[in-house]
Amino acid sequence: MAAKVLCILVDGVEEIELVTPVDILRRAGAEVVMATSGAGGEVVGKMGIRIRADAFLSGIDPSAFDALLLPGGPAVAVLRKEEGMVSLVRSFGDAGKVVAGICAAPLLLHDAGLLEGRRHTAHFTTHKELMAAEGEERVIVDGPLVTSRGAGTAVEFGLALAALLEGEEAVKEVAEAIMS
């Protein structure tokens, strides 16, 4: 059965960090629902690209999902202030579900208490807050947590997440198809 992934998006999302892993996950067979809390169902990314959400977060039952995908960019600062976001992230972690964050998004994993005792990486601008982040690592998978440094690592991040959710064989086919 295909893994169900909830992907959170708000204005200011780093487009590459959203579209690349979502694309790879869908190619690997996962069902990805991009959900927003914003009005209108559309967000504007960091570089001005408009992205339409699949659903509103208010209409989503998080327990129906196997994994949570958190893209980075300036959107992370917004998400850190959004009521209920940290508890949503924590609920996935507490349930032992896969939680993935790229760029600045590991800050949300930190806020939810999920990084304690776990290897992780993140964008270098977060290292004052994420002092244990492994800055040289491009992608780190530590149990159900997947973290990555930024836009330049989005393909590797997507493939690592897909391998965890859909298996190595599915990822091998995707990697060959996209010539990664």
* Rg value, the chain, Cα: 15
Q: Where on the phi/psi map is residue 29: left (φ > 0), alpha (ψ -120 to 50), or beta?
A: left
Only one residue has tokens 């009521």, namely 83
Whole-number Å distance between alpha carbons of 42 and 106: 24
The residues assigned a catalytic role are 103
User: Phi/psi of residue 169, each to 5°?
Assistant: -65, -45
Beta bridge partners of 70: 101
